[in-house]
Structure 1
């Protein structure tokens, strides 16, 4: 068996093949000897300078909206992984403000941004906030990097435009190659693949506009009108009358566009090659200045809206939302059918003699007003240039000076007898799931505290003492998601949802009342103990680190997020309001926590076993369901003195949170490729010094090579099992590292085990050592499995697997 270790930065080192040099192949007779080697490399005292390499953090997924046009769902709710958007390092506000004017771009006097807008210290872009005469608010985002880059972008744009077809074919071939490489031990890493995909996107310019009106404003006799208008505004304008002219322009110049309608907001966005950005802005702005919305296009676009509705019908998440919305008070807009379809926009209006075209134009005139709108534009232009363009183009958007629709007085929409019931639902997918949901007062005003985020962090925890940990030990649950997605459905001016969704096993489904009781026990514990400043500050630090070293995401995604933030937060928090936890306020957290009680909860149990037992159907999506009171004996248990399960407790202090961000001093020369710096009987060590990004992150790739694996098909299968069990055993102890932005991956390669770890230098060795310790002390015993409900369960024989013997054989 042979071992080789490589430490590198993602931008170059991670994609390099160790086999480029002679690989050390020293036979080791015992796993313990290999373990000693691994511990030697894991020790931070051995080669501290090696931990200065610098991968870039992954971009966070954008939030999910519904309904939407050709857009894949995405959410920001806290899930069982605990991964969230984050804040800057300690004292992020002050540090970020100082960095605003100390980057090289900011030193150019003619491209200075607003110092009041707080941004990440690692963000090189400059920002300027302006308000046009018509009331439209705009944020200008400049990633200008000098004349040389400007000329290079123009050149790249011409090449991309001239070779679109060839490029598409090359991308298809590249994807095929990447799939083949993924099967090889030394294939390209996921991070490198992501960067290749983002290469062209980073050269794009983008804009997004958010109208502060959504489906809540639909008239009662035309459900889905706001969504329909989102489609119709694209059907040409007075200045550019071609019905599909804008899409054709974007396609010609390497761009794309999209739009989505939420409860109280509608968002439009596009991107395009930089040299075509101004013309694209002008064409796009006309949809908000003087759209044609021609009569002849109405029937076609109704069919497009109906197609989206039909595609959404098989989605269990959409079906649950529509069923949940139907439980609201009759006069509340939450009960509206926001999607729209051929029935509500064509057939019924025809029967009622409603002029849809006339009503559509009236809706646009009333609600698409400049003072409802926020705009974000990003390009490699100077701020002065962007301001000139935006003022010239968007000042023509009309302002009707009407008050913006306000639903903030329509509180407690789910304060109805129908809400606090048990709903049995037949899902589309063959899964068992339990949803426990509360409707709380709107929480948007508490964005600086984020009480639901704090609670969801604890509910969604996967470490020892958590709800999911206990449920897994009982073999009752596979996954748990808790929190608020911050979409319009989950959070608006009338209420905020807090939901816990548990994917159940067959046994968990049979014991769903006991599962529910465990959740209530944990909530009771949190209420009794009260908010914990130590835990809040841990979350704050974790998010601080991620925000400080955040990766620059694709412009089209970025401007979409920013223009929505502009509807919600003050100027200084446009970039931070949805990510940072600013203030620990135990009273605000307690106020939300005390509302999460059994008597206020809605229970929704999904299972294919309910088929044939659910006589009711939801009107729009046809979801089969039944409704019943919660069993009285369980109500008594939940509302009485709940005895806490002894396995439940708060998470321990997270030792994986980085606090030292100093770059390690290194006398190693800069190299283009990794170099071998150690070659001994213990193995080979390759090192790639980061000479580009200079951020305190490292990447370690450890390859344990064994010829035994390929000696038989049985060995290959057993080795796969070994790696899967090792990953299973690591899931709980390594959870704290994952939420602290330390990532790891175990790969059962063709020739041996590959261990990949990445993250902040400071605590990365702790994660590496944890993995190595579990490998050295590997056990396939069922007693150690998190899914063993009790020691009385009859153990499954592992004699036929001989996993320990295989491990010894591998190192001989």
Structure 2
């Protein structure tokens, strides 16, 4: 064995001994991370519903998720979309809470969020809420599965909602590509069938027919024994158990057998095959898919995970590194597919350059050359142990997730894994078995392949029915298969070497004397760097107690606000850096040390997060590359082409997203998309080189260090950054970003020409000024009107799939955005509905009881003061404060205090003021010519996602 490799293996084994000695902690029978202080307990109710209870006394949010192991695979062949339709219907009233919008309104007004999704094998329902309000939320939530109304009124309406959801994605390339791929699948496999649903598949021509089918599906498939429930709250386990039994024991148990199917997704006799799919966006890609044996039985050794890790590697010797050198690709991803009862699959997706599209057969040859080398050498025990160590390390110092995501993830885990491993199943790689790994790699061969090529310029010969996807399916000739089977080994392709970034020192730093600690140890201290224009903020963490740190730094320059050419240049510069450092950053990321380089309105920034052991080395390397990048013409042309495609594809984004983009351009006085496109048409490498030199002529450097680092280590990192960056001069030159102030006389209206069936309107209401009172009152108004806006325009008026009201602060300027995207209503009709709502709301605001105002205040304060659940949450919050020059780090405190002081008169005054400063952005959809008389029949499913407008 090579000496260096032997030393690396020895180090890995040593670290494994350390981790294994401390990594296992038990909550009853359930293995949990030693970094997890929560209490876990599992119970099985009398109705055979399995429940995981999580007690977290310190949480500010409670959450619950219920997963049922039935999904769109169970749709009757003559009722495509029925499972998805059922998911919609469960939100629209129960016997105990018959009002259609009651559940949504309760969650929203108590600081929470909610959603659901239907997958092929599962349907999942979930919510979070203020920790004090868990029990009444569980009461409402549980009724979905006990006594849904399925009222005929909403049954007939809600199929329009599903149709609107379907319509909104007609131009989505992801949906279109999958729909075309389905045409090559085995028609007996449920994955081959349309699953979303529309007005045709959910027809209700005979009154009551759809409701009858809906109830039948619910009764035949929803049963307690198929369900898994997770409840996370601040209450003790005993109290959570009482709630679980009280609210969920009445779900009926029908003792249904597990739903299963055993048909292959692709008929073996149809393989190999090639699919050519024409895309709408200016993207090109090549994908390779291979059926394999089921992988779930081998979840402790994870052969497909290991294969994905080796094929998807981006460092030296990787497929992607070679393809980039040839100018053929910009990205590569490898992953296991979904596990079915009788098979699984392995997928590789390669993002192509236009040149790469001309060399697809050669790219496939290089892939099989890599696989030939992998099959020849197999996976070494050293690499297996490295994967084992990295997963052990990740679980040992596992960061706390948002409760709503955590409970949803755990309900999935409960369906697939033994109770002891519900928390750690994803991190287990512990049974080295080269024979099993080789069994899976044997499936990765040319004659067992679905080869798919996606690009806008491909020749096709047919169109898919639901999404009008243009595609062509052809068999792959025996000559091509033979060529790929007989590929030569390439000296440029090999399995990766040992990872140099694995953390070796995982000790926590000693805390400084109490007297020198900031209050509550949550406020950074400003360390004097001795240099004008260089500021360092440092916080040594004593909350999360993990050997991790975040180092963020930014270069601010007035040139960033000079216009489109500079904005485009800074984005290209950031992409060039990421591309040059890609191999190094990939190794670091695998070892739990992530870095992101990005351009923004005031300059360029770097965020590094993860194990602190080698964070100084990585920050120095990135800084050196920032100052002296390798400005090769080949890399520049590849990155420039990708950036041009990104700008071009922005014209094909969802209508409401395009309207938001234009609103930011107008309000923040950023270059428009057209200006950026014009600037990149003739942008040169010489321009980029000159821009970089200008950036370093006079720049302001701001640094944040947060985590397991001492103050002197943070100062050393700051000094290292300055030495590596070598600016000609540092000075306080950070440019301001001026927000356009609207006036009652403006009456701004912009109409975009967007090629999409849906029309959309974004109505932006701007606050009076940037005062704390204006920011607090605008945020509170958004909290109050969000639920009724959704209920009126979505549930009652049925305007569109995407319907929401959201806060829209631009730096310190408050605002609210009202958003509707509709497949049937015109912009004029949408605006009329918005105006009618605002008129009614003004009166409702006057009549709202004081106790209800106080409830909304409590909900808003819970959102503003949301708990920092992991180190990076706190770093991101502090970084935003530094960006906005709020270096007392007390914005949350001041806003909370101001919210408490607001009266109802303050709210009505603020609302009247908002109505005087409006900006409207709209587009006319090709589907909006439907008669306005039909508008009220079009139901939609709301998009709950909040849009963040802050930079």
TM-score norm. by structure 2 comes to 0.62
CA distance in 2 between counterparts of 1:461 and 1:343 reads 45
Q: Match of 1:422?
A: 274
Q: Does 1:204 align with 2:55?
A: no
CA distance in 1 between counterparts of 2:258 and 2:450 reads 32
Q: Match of 1:232?
A: 89
Q: Match of 1:64?
A: none
CA distance in 1 between counterparts of 2:565 and 2:152 reads 67
CA distance in 2 between counterparts of 1:228 and 1:707 reads 53
* CA separation of 1:786 and 1:239: change in aligned 2, threshold 3 A: same
Contact 2:272-2:449 within 8 A present in 1 as well:
yes
Q: Shift in Å at residue 766 of structure 1?
A: 2.6
* CA separation of 1:580 and 1:786: change in aligned 2, threshold 3 A: farther
Q: Does 1:622 align with 2:468?
A: yes
* 1:684-723 pair list within 5 angstroms: 687-701=538-552
Q: Which stretch shows the higher mean deviation, 655-664 or 614-623?
A: 614-623
Contact 1:204-1:273 within 8 A present in 2 as well:
yes
Contact 1:675-1:688 within 8 A present in 2 as well:
no
Contact 1:328-1:413 within 8 A present in 2 as well:
yes
Q: Match of 2:183?
A: 326
CA distance in 2 between counterparts of 1:95 and 1:503 reads 41
CA distance in 2 between counterparts of 1:705 and 1:776 reads 14
CA distance in 2 between counterparts of 1:781 and 1:498 reads 35
Q: Does 1:498 align with 2:346?
A: yes
* CA separation of 1:621 and 1:670: change in aligned 2, threshold 3 A: same
Q: Does 1:380 align with 2:234?
A: yes
CA distance in 1 between counterparts of 2:128 and 2:627 reads 51
Q: Does 1:477 align with 2:323?
A: no
Q: Deviations over 1:484-510 (max 9, x none)?
A: 25xxxx333243221111111111111
Decide which of 482, 492, 504 is 1:659's aligned counterpart. Answer: 504
Q: Does 1:126 align with 2:39?
A: yes
Any idea what SS the aligned residue of 1:118 has?
Answer: strand
Decide which of 372, 377, 399 is 1:524's aligned counterpart. Answer: 372
* 1:758-769 pair list within 5 angstroms: 758-769=609-620
Q: Deviations over 1:7-56 (max 9, x none)?
A: xxxxxxxxxxxxxxxxxxxxxxxxxxxxxxxxxxxxxxxxxxxxxxxxxx
Q: Shift in Å at residue 436 of structure 1?
A: 1.0
* 1:165-184 pair list within 5 angstroms: none
Q: Match of 2:594?
A: 743
Which fold has the larger relative contact order, with Cα–Cα distance below 8 Å and residues 6 or more apart in sequence?
A: 1
* CA separation of 1:93 and 1:226: change in aligned 2, threshold 3 A: farther
Contact 1:421-1:602 within 8 A present in 2 as well:
yes
Q: Match of 1:254?
A: 111
* 1:262-273 pair list within 5 angstroms: 262-273=119-130
CA distance in 1 between counterparts of 2:182 and 2:451 reads 14
CA distance in 2 between counterparts of 1:653 and 1:587 reads 22
Contact 2:68-2:227 within 8 A present in 1 as well:
yes
* 1:418-457 pair list within 5 angstroms: 418-457=270-309
Any idea what SS the aligned residue of 1:628 has?
Answer: strand
Q: Match of 1:80?
A: none
Q: Shift in Å at residue 119 of structure 1?
A: 1.5
Q: Does 1:458 align with 2:310?
A: yes
Q: Which stretch shows the higher mean deviation, 559-568 or 272-281?
A: 272-281
CA distance in 1 between counterparts of 2:114 and 2:311 reads 37
Q: Match of 1:95?
A: 22
Q: Which runs of 5+ in 2 are unaligned?
A: 1-14, 640-683, 698-726, 730-951
CA distance in 2 between counterparts of 1:232 and 1:507 reads 48
Q: Deviations over 1:139-160 (max 9, x none)?
A: 0011114xxxxxxxxxxxxxxx
Q: Shift in Å at residue 544 of structure 1?
A: 2.6
CA distance in 2 between counterparts of 1:708 and 1:299 reads 57
* CA separation of 1:323 and 1:712: change in aligned 2, threshold 3 A: closer
* 1:289-308 pair list within 5 angstroms: 289-308=146-165
* CA separation of 1:718 and 1:139: change in aligned 2, threshold 3 A: closer
Decide which of 583, 587, 591 is 2:439's aligned counterpart. Answer: 591
Any idea what SS the aligned residue of 1:343 has?
Answer: coil
Q: Shift in Å at residue 768 of structure 1?
A: 2.7
Any idea what SS the aligned residue of 2:43 has?
Answer: strand
* CA separation of 1:128 and 1:89: change in aligned 2, threshold 3 A: farther
Q: Deviations over 1:408-463 (max 9, x none)?
A: xx143312443421111111222111111112222122221111111111111111
Q: Shift in Å at residue 722 of structure 1?
A: 5.8
Contact 2:569-2:688 within 8 A present in 1 as well:
no
Q: Does 1:400 align with 2:400?
A: no
Q: Which stretch shows the higher mean deviation, 662-671 or 464-473?
A: 662-671
* 1:104-119 pair list within 5 angstroms: 114-119=27-32
Contact 2:353-2:638 within 8 A present in 1 as well:
no
Decide which of 479, 486, 490 is 1:645's aligned counterpart. Answer: 490
CA distance in 1 between counterparts of 2:557 and 2:695 reads 10
TM-score norm. by structure 1 comes to 0.72
Q: Match of 1:540?
A: 388
* 1:501-516 pair list within 5 angstroms: 501-516=349-364
Q: Shift in Å at residue 512 of structure 1?
A: 1.0
Any idea what SS the aligned residue of 1:515 has?
Answer: helix
* CA separation of 1:563 and 1:768: change in aligned 2, threshold 3 A: same
Q: Shift in Å at residue 750 of structure 1?
A: 8.9
Q: Shift in Å at residue 118 of structure 1?
A: 1.2
Contact 2:188-2:263 within 8 A present in 1 as well:
no
CA distance in 1 between counterparts of 2:122 and 2:564 reads 56
CA distance in 2 between counterparts of 1:301 and 1:717 reads 44
Q: Shift in Å at residue 738 of structure 1?
A: 2.4
Q: Shift in Å at residue 271 of structure 1?
A: 2.0
Any idea what SS the aligned residue of 1:359 has?
Answer: helix
Q: Match of 1:811?
A: 728
* CA separation of 1:244 and 1:754: change in aligned 2, threshold 3 A: closer
Decide which of 183, 195, 201 is 1:344's aligned counterpart. Answer: 201
Q: Shift in Å at residue 96 of structure 1?
A: 4.4
Any idea what SS the aligned residue of 1:385 has?
Answer: helix
Q: Does 1:311 align with 2:179?
A: no
Q: Shift in Å at residue 712 of structure 1?
A: 12
Any idea what SS the aligned residue of 2:259 has?
Answer: coil
* 1:604-623 pair list within 5 angstroms: 604-610=452-458, 613-623=459-469
Q: Which stretch shows the higher mean deviation, 720-729 or 559-568?
A: 720-729
CA distance in 2 between counterparts of 1:401 and 1:711 reads 68
Q: Shift in Å at residue 603 of structure 1?
A: 0.9
CA distance in 2 between counterparts of 1:274 and 1:371 reads 28
Q: Does 1:734 align with 2:581?
A: no
CA distance in 2 between counterparts of 1:277 and 1:716 reads 47
CA distance in 1 between counterparts of 2:571 and 2:122 reads 48
